Structure 1
Amino acid sequence: MIVLEGGHLATVDALDTEYPQGHLVIDGSVIVAVGPGPAPAELRAGAQLLDATGCLITPGLVNTHHHLYQWLTRGLGQDSTLFGWLSELYPVWARIDADAVHAAASANLGWLALSGCSTSSDHHYVFPKAGGDLLEATISAALEIGVRFQACRGSMDLGQSAGGLPPDSVVEDREAILIATEAAIDRWHDPAAGAMTRISVAPCSPFSVTAELMRDAAELARGKGVRLHTHLAETSDEDEFCQQTYGRTPAEYLADLGWLGPDVWLAHCVHLSDSAIASFAETGTSVAHCPTSNGRLGAGSARVQDLIRAGVPVGLGVDGAASNEAGRLVDELRSAMTVARLRGGPQSLSARQTLRLATIGGAQCLGRDAEVGSLEPGKLADVAVWRLDGLGQAGCVDPVFAWAFSSSTPLKLLLVNGRGVVAEDMLLTSDVGRLAREASAASARVLQR
């Protein structure tokens, strides 16, 4: 058993219960007790006692949208909008292979863990013919780093010759996509409680995927009992593309394809109408909010407060490291609050609302809110402990605000399934120097091809 005591405990339960000097008890991979003050004597006896005085204890953070392979192309397309950025990078991504993707994913997931991320999704949609098993490359990296992983088997079948944005060299045949996606589900998806690896079905976007593939993908996912994910309404260019190509907005197009529902979460959703937000709320469709990436590409600011008020589940996403070079999930809290307040004023998004986005909101997006996302007895022991006793947070009267509005809070401990992944800002599961060297070498190889 592990007993954490003395820290400010933010449970993120339904009542947002907090204990200024609380305790958290873990038995194996499960939380068994949470409450004020020291743990009961019978739970402390024989347990590993960890002093969290001066710390904030939160659930491990949940990253709802990412592209791990993009670690290979950081710093490119620095001043481009999304469509220009993609047009520059598609030909580079056509050169990736399994070795490069594994190096990128390992470094990226290690960096995410160091920012308090215990669960991450990954949306991989570029599969060069001679690239090898790229999905396996990301999954094996997640197993090495030790984070919970939602691998999204993405796809593109609408190339430039058919009116799409990506060059024909990076798209796949629709039938081949469906066969490969079903095989990935059969091989890797673990539906059991506490699973470390799950698969979702994730055609890329309205401007890179045909309507036929979108419908077939939804049928496949629902037949297999897995979740659906895609990009939506990220930029005004996408809105214009959908209006010209399909005669409707991106959200209307997705609704017509049967792509709204409690098994769907959508990335970005910057450009939404009131009716789109209402339809998301009515159908239980979730949104992955990626504030830093949206700013990096000048896409705009999502209507996060309107989504929350409507009852739409919202989580946070880092997005790919080539559109968010910082790559730290904890930084997205500050970005989310800042962007929301620029849009709607200082009461638009509070620190505790943002904490919910980063934890239980993200867990809802991934369909795992019964297991992770809050610190409650019976839930999995995915726990982050943050140091607030240093110079960066000194004198701030509210520990949650001090942490959420800071981008430099040291991570004392990250547990996933009760297992240590990070301690005192050091990755325990892999050597960060090796990860950096291998990722840098892989990036150089891809760029030189």
Structure 2
Amino acid sequence: MNLLIKNAEIVTMNKEGEIMIGDLHIVDDIIMNIGPNLEVSQPDKIIDAKGKTVIPGFVQTHIHLCQTIFRGQGDDLELMDWLKKRIWPLEAAHDEESIYYSAMLGIGELIQSGTTTIVDMETVHHTEYAFKAIAESGIRALSGKVMMDKGDEVPVPLQEKTENSIRESVDLLEKWHNYDNGRIKYAFSPRFVVSCTEKLLREVQFLSEHYHVMVHTHASENLGEIDIVQKETGMRNIVYLDHLGLANPRLILAHCIWLDDEEKKIIRERGVHVSHCPGSNLKLASGIAETPYMISEQVSLSLGADGAPCNNNLDMFNEMRLAALIQKPAHGPTAMDAHTVFKMATIGGAKAVGMENEIGSIEVGKKADLAILNLNHFHTYPSYGVDPISRIVYSATRADVETTIINGEIVMENGLLKTINKSIVLHEANNCIKRLLQRAKMK
């Protein structure tokens, strides 16, 4: 497509932090030109964005699409109870259709709220159907089947043999990695140290290096989790992962709330990426990550909503606002300012997935992953004299996202999804969760 977006306020997130009024010219999936009054010969489509704001699409670095249809099914529990009593039994009950519609439900919400790239962790089985949903929807994703070959109180359908877990993961990688010219990538996804043998984690380290793909896992989210790891390995989470050779720039760690000084040093020196999930961390009463410290130490820090049953939404506007506000009582009003948080949501996420040269900012030569916001509302006015980024982080909501463009394709325009049939997905999501709850004998 030859697309021209005219007269917009453009929040570039380039190194100079430029914000300008002008036009964007997109050809196929690439931003070809940015500037005032661009002359474009016979564009296929013109979007007049006068009075509107164009931002880089959000990059969420920790999502569970397979859990979206569990929304509201795991409220008011701490992590280990939440997993054992609700999430694992429901994941064990999943079938091909429920995985597909759970993914579509989550992707629809993500696109509607301006997220264009996700790092997704699925469950043990039927991951192929999540990849199908990702492919059809047009979202950019790193995804992988969850790996868990040990653990107490794990339902039988989620108990897998090490060899099977590795083989199925590699099969999925070889089929889906770099699908659609790299829009979809594979990431090895061991759930967390509690549910993975050393043999599995060592093989993941080898395969990640061999295929040069990311590893996405949870770490140091909950004190009970850390206690289990210490009793089993004699080491804390991050120390153990480093011992296995996993602590490197290919590793994305979700949460990292409870870190000691040695672990902080490992993350900093090894170039490990941390995905901060404030909504999930608050709802599960897990704690508050030391993000001001991570920022001061130049740790690669990004944002994720986690899964719908521990949040209960996948809205980056909510995560940005929480990430900023929860630090201010302890660290002062200037801690985690709007620019820092918006950077985490855009170019910071791009860096975490190794794509900072392709996405995360609006620059010539980069992929056209954008959201157009309409901030002409009571809750975002007055606009005069207000920093545009502060306005987005502290005042805007997902309802302000009007159009979402991924890889140069308009996947939502004027609030209407183009790649997902909303009515079918909502209907089937209800049918699926009813079936899973009966199968899991919960209701």
1:292-441 alignment runs, 5 A limit: 292-396=279-383, 397-406=386-395, 407-441=397-431
Alpha-carbon offset, residue 409 of structure 1: 4.4
Alpha-carbon offset, residue 326 of structure 1: 1.9
Name the SS for the 1:330 alignment partner.
helix
User: Partner letter of residue 381 of structure 2?
Assistant: A
CA shift digits 1:299-342 (9 cap, x unpaired) = 11111121122121111111111111122233211121112324
- CA distance in 2: counterparts of 1:287 and 1:401, whole angstroms: 23
CA shift digits 1:6-57 (9 cap, x unpaired) = 22211111222211x132221121001123xx2333x366463322222221
Q: For residue 100 of structure 1, what is the aligned residue in structure 2?
A: 98
1:91-170 alignment runs, 5 A limit: 91-127=89-125, 134-160=126-152, 166-170=154-158
Asked whether 1:77 is paired with 2:74, we answer: yes
Asked whether 1:49 is paired with 2:36, we answer: no
Q: For residue 174 of structure 1, what is the aligned residue in structure 2?
A: 162
Alpha-carbon offset, residue 72 of structure 1: 2.4
Alpha-carbon offset, residue 137 of structure 1: 0.6
391 and 206 in structure 1: CA distance in 2 versus 1, 3 angstrom threshold? same
1:245-260 alignment runs, 5 A limit: 245-260=232-247
Which structure 2 segments of 5+ residues have no match?
none
- Of 176, 180, 183 in structure 2, the residue corresponding to residue 196 of structure 1 is 183
Aligned partners of 2:32 and 2:365 also within 8 Å: yes
Q: For residue 38 of structure 2, what is the aligned residue in structure 1?
A: 40
Aligned partners of 2:220 and 2:237 also within 8 Å: yes
- CA distance in 2: counterparts of 1:337 and 1:44, whole angstroms: 44
* Identity between Structure 1 and Structure 2 (%): 30
User: Partner letter of residue 425 of structure 1?
Assistant: G
Alpha-carbon offset, residue 408 of structure 1: 4.6
- CA distance in 2: counterparts of 1:47 and 1:94, whole angstroms: 47
- CA distance in 1: counterparts of 2:89 and 2:46, whole angstroms: 53
- CA distance in 2: counterparts of 1:158 and 1:46, whole angstroms: 56
- How many positions carry a matched residue from both structures? 434
Aligned partners of 1:265 and 1:285 also within 8 Å: yes
408 and 368 in structure 1: CA distance in 2 versus 1, 3 angstrom threshold? closer
Q: For residue 63 of structure 2, what is the aligned residue in structure 1?
A: 66
Alpha-carbon offset, residue 97 of structure 1: 0.8
190 and 142 in structure 1: CA distance in 2 versus 1, 3 angstrom threshold? same
- CA distance in 1: counterparts of 2:320 and 2:41, whole angstroms: 34
44 and 312 in structure 1: CA distance in 2 versus 1, 3 angstrom threshold? farther
CA shift digits 1:275-294 (9 cap, x unpaired) = 32222121111011111011
- CA distance in 2: counterparts of 1:280 and 1:125, whole angstroms: 26
- CA distance in 1: counterparts of 2:275 and 2:52, whole angstroms: 28
Q: For residue 278 of structure 1, what is the aligned residue in structure 2?
A: 265
Name the SS for the 2:193 alignment partner.
coil
Name the SS for the 2:145 alignment partner.
strand
169 and 136 in structure 1: CA distance in 2 versus 1, 3 angstrom threshold? closer
Alpha-carbon offset, residue 244 of structure 1: 2.0
Name the SS for the 2:150 alignment partner.
coil
CA shift digits 1:118-171 (9 cap, x unpaired) = 1112101333xxxxxx111111111221111211222101122xxxx5345422
- CA distance in 2: counterparts of 1:342 and 1:409, whole angstroms: 28
Alpha-carbon offset, residue 75 of structure 1: 1.3
Per the normalisation by structure 1, the TM-score is: 0.93
- CA distance in 1: counterparts of 2:416 and 2:378, whole angstroms: 19
- CA distance in 1: counterparts of 2:332 and 2:160, whole angstroms: 45
CA shift digits 1:64-89 (9 cap, x unpaired) = 11111112222123111101101112
Name the SS for the 1:94 alignment partner.
helix
User: Partner letter of residue 428 of structure 2?
Assistant: E
- CA distance in 1: counterparts of 2:281 and 2:118, whole angstroms: 19
Aligned partners of 1:56 and 1:400 also within 8 Å: no
Q: For residue 203 of structure 2, what is the aligned residue in structure 1?
A: 216
Alpha-carbon offset, residue 297 of structure 1: 0.3
- CA distance in 1: counterparts of 2:398 and 2:369, whole angstroms: 21
- CA distance in 2: counterparts of 1:305 and 1:63, whole angstroms: 19
Range moving further from structure 2, 362-371 or 398-407: 398-407
The alignment yields a C-alpha RMSD, in angstroms, of 1.7
Range moving further from structure 2, 168-177 or 282-291: 168-177
Q: For residue 29 of structure 1, what is the aligned residue in structure 2?
A: 29
Name the SS for the 1:58 alignment partner.
strand
Aligned partners of 2:75 and 2:309 also within 8 Å: no
Name the SS for the 1:322 alignment partner.
helix
Name the SS for the 2:63 alignment partner.
coil
